[in-house]
Amino acid sequence: MAGMPALVVAAFSFGMLHALLPGHGKSLLAAHYAGDGHCRGAMLSSAILILTHVGSAIVIVLTGAAVIQRTLVGAGRAPILERSSQILIVLVGLWLLWRAFRPHRHDYGRSGPALAFVGGLVPCPLTTFIMAYAVANGLVLAGVLLSATFASGMIVTVVAFPLAAILLRGRLVAILDRSYALQRRIGFGLEVAAPWR
């Protein structure tokens, strides 16, 4: 355990870099919070998404070999959870599309965290690897600590995307204020297009 501080720093840094790869719900959250979201909600949703993503991998590994043999297929994949997450994302997308065609008041406070949870259901393959190695070597606590640190780094990167969308929205809205009709058409178009992402 002498090298643990270095591993924690490496896990955090690697988590930040890893979250830049495709996936991890960055565009999902950015599209959701670009409308009229708030920074606090974007940060909460980013944390929920990544904690669900990493947490599901930890739970799968810790629940034992029987579950792993039934759900995992090579390189830490979990097809059942992946398919469930995809179906739930499609359902949320259809619900958002339905709402785009009806007058409504946006409620980013409740829908953002729910969308983040659904988006994070796919277990993280790297966390699965870390935890499987830790369990195999009797280092479960170290594995959980490294996985949590890895997740913290991922949260830092992922939260930057919806926050950037919120900050850029203000500048875009100032430009669009000159033409309210154009703003309404673009807003409606974005609402209709967002579920198809």
What are the pLDDT digits (tens) for 129-158?
888 888 888 888 888 898 999 999 999 998
In tens, the pLDDT along 29-49 reads 887 777 767 888 888 888 888
Q: Where are the alpha helices (DSSP H) in the chain?
A: 4-18, 26-34, 39-62, 65-71, 79-100, 108-119, 125-136, 140-176, 180-193
Quote the pLDDT of residue 149. Answer: 92
Long-range contacts of 101-109 (CB under 8 A, 24+ apart): 101/192, 106/35, 106/36, 108/32, 108/33, 108/35, 108/36, 108/37, 108/38, 108/41, 109/38, 109/41
In tens, the pLDDT along 172-185 reads 666 656 666 766 77
What is d(CA 131, CA 138) in angstroms, rounded to the nearest whole number? Answer: 10
In tens, the pLDDT along 96-136 reads 676 667 765 555 556 777 777 877 777 888 888 888 888 88
Residue spans per domain, the chain: 35-196
